[in-house]
Amino acid sequence: MSTLAWKRSTRLLIYLVLIILVILYLVPVYVVVVTSLKNNAEVSLTQMWNLPSVFSFSSIKAAWAQLGPNFGNSFELAIPATILSALLGSLNGYALSKWKFKGSNVLFFLILFGMFIPYQSVLIPLLRVMDTIGLYNTIAGLILVHVVYGIPIATLIFRNFYVAIPTELMEAGKIDGTGYWGIFRHIILPLSIPGFVVAGIWQFTQIWNNFLFAVSLTNPPNQPVTVALVNIAGSQTIQWNVQMASALLVSIPTLIVYILLGKYFVRGLLAGSVKG
C-alpha cells in the first residue's frame, strides 16, 4: 500500500471510530427523547428502542404537571445565587491576583479547600443553623448555602482570569491616582465580562444540578427540580415515559446554556482543575 493510501485509510478509521463513539455517547439522549415522545399505551419494556408510531406530547405534559412548580423554585434559586456568587468571586479574585499581600496565598489555599470537602461533613451543623435562623426549607436558605459554598470555585475562576490581565494596565491607573476601588471599577471590571460569563455558566449549572443540599434543606413544595425528579423516579406508579420526559425537562435549561456558550463552560471545567 502506498503511503498516501495508508494515510487516507487511517484518516477514515479515525472518523469511523469517532462516529461510533458519538453514537454511544448519544444513546441516553436517544432513549430519553424517544421515550418522552411516546404515550402511555406505547411505552413497554420490549419496545424500548423503537421510535414512537405517533409523536405524542402527553408524557411531556404529564411531566410538566408534576415538575412545573419546582422549575420556579430552581430558577428562583439558581439565578440570584449565580449572580451573587459571581460578584463575590470577582471581588475575591481581584484581591488575590492584583493585590497580593503577605499570607494571601495561605488564604487562597484555605478558600480553595472548601471546594473539595464532602458536604456531608458540614451537613449536621448546617441544618441546625439554617433551622435556627429560620432559613430551613426556604429558597433564600438554599441561595445562601450555594453562595457560600460557591465562593471557592468562583474565586478560583476570577483569580485565574485576572492573573492573565497585564499588570501594566493597572500601573496606568495608579499613576492617575486612582486607588484599589477606582482601578477595579474603571479598569478591571470592564475587562471582566468573559470572567463573569465563565463563572456564571459554571455556577448556574452546578446550582441547578445540585441534589445534596436540595434534598437536605427543602421539603415539598419548596424543592428544586432535581429532588422532584428523584421523587418521580422513585414512585412505583409513574410510567417510564413520564420519568424520561421529566429527566428531559430537568436537563433542558443547562443544556441550552451549554449549547449556546459551550466554550465558556469548558473554561469553567478546566478552571476546576486549579492552577496556581
By CB under 8 A, the residues from 95 to 154 that bind another protein are: 95-96, 98-102, 104-105, 107-114, 116-126, 129, 145, 148-149, 151-152
Residues in 53-82 at the binding interface with another protein, rule: CB under 8 A: none
Residue 20 sits in the site that holds another protein (CB under 8 A)? no
Answer whether 213's CB lies under 8 Å from 150's CB: no
Q: Is the torsion defined by CA of 4, 5, 6, 7 positive or negative?
A: positive
**Which residue reads 443547562 in cell numbers?**
254
Q: Which of 198, 208, 223, 264 binds another protein (CB under 8 A)?
A: 208
> In the bound complex, what is the minimum distance in angstroms from residue 10's beta carbon to another protein?
9
d(CA 84, CA 201): 13
Residues in 222-251 at the binding interface with another protein, rule: CB under 8 A: 226, 229-230, 233, 240, 243-244, 246-247, 250-251
Residue 46 sits in the site that holds another protein (CB under 8 A)? yes
Residue 32 sits in the site that holds another protein (CB under 8 A)? yes
Residue 175 sits in the site that holds another protein (CB under 8 A)? no
Residue 155 sits in the site that holds another protein (CB under 8 A)? yes
| Shorter beta-carbon distance to another protein: residue 139 or 224 | 224
Q: Which of 15, 51, 140, 235 binds another protein (CB under 8 A)?
A: 15
d(CA 85, CA 244): 32
Residue 62: closest CA among 84, 90, 43: 43
d(CA 51, CA 122): 46
Report residue 72 as a C-alpha cell.
420556579
Site string for another protein, 257-276 (x = CB under 8 A): xxx--x--xx--xx-xxxxx
Residue 226: closest CA among 203, 210, 244: 210
> In the bound complex, what is the minimum distance in angstroms from residue 31's beta carbon to another protein?
6
Residue 64: closest CA among 270, 273, 254, 248: 248
Report residue 214 as a C-alpha cell.
436540595
| Shorter beta-carbon distance to another protein: residue 40 or 104 | 104
Count the residues of the shown chain that bind another protein, applying the rule CB under 8 A.
96
